[in-house]
Chain A
């Protein structure tokens, strides 16, 4: 089945530092979604990327979809303690237009 690799698994930063998590697939994806899960919480949708090379911004968060639609990244500028949580990419592809395949996530911790 489809697999999505996400790195790094963990990232610890000082408040104010930047953070990036990467998502890679060996197959071309239809689209990719990003979710955030706070400790003890459930995944919450952040954004969806559909077009090749697409870049979207949400305040301090920048999301990119690769030109080949096989990779994506989430970059957070000037992290805050409220950014703590696990960030998951979730891909749709492999002939399905609804089944999300989640990466293992990147756990971000922020030292105040």
Chain B
């Protein structure tokens, strides 16, 4: 079956521009996570969705970052007024169970964002 997919795979933008990163989770997975991974670091939690709602957005670095999941499936991470420090690989992951059960997370291939 299809895994988690993310588009685009690479995004180069200029400082100050707006970008959208898309994540298609595994079909039927209710939990969806966004992470950011910088070079030489582990993934850093950004936001967690359970269904359509953002259950925990405590990892979003500031109000330039926003994410939605309007129909409980595809999610979009939106970054306004991009800064060079936003350059990183943005990973999406999904899992089949909600917060009442610990469960493995399936990661997508990531979007490499470069802000010039």
Contacts and interface: CB of A to CB of B under 8 A. Distances in A.
A102 B109 CA distance: 17
Interface in A10-60: 30-31, 33, 35, 41-45, 48, 50
B109 A98 contact: no
B45 A99 contact: yes
B94 to A, nearest CB: 12
Interface in B21-52: 31, 33, 40-45, 48
Given A42-B91, A44-B107, A50 B102 contact: yes
A100 B108 contact: no
B38 to A, nearest CB: 10
A42 B110 contact: yes
Given A43-B91, A43-B107, A44-B107, A90 B42 contact: yes
B44 A102 contact: yes
Interface string A89-112: 010100011111111110000000
Interface residues of A, number: 25
Interface in B93-116: 93, 99-100, 102, 104-110
How many interface residues does chain B have, given as a range? Answer: 20 to 34
Contact of A48 (B43, B56, B99, B104): B104
B40 A45 contact: no
B104 A103 contact: no
B105 to A, nearest CB: 7
Given A42-B110, A48-B102, 12 more contacts: A43-B107, A44-B107, A45-B104, A45-B105, A48-B104, A97-B99, A98-B55, A98-B99, A103-B42, A104-B40, A104-B42, A105-B41
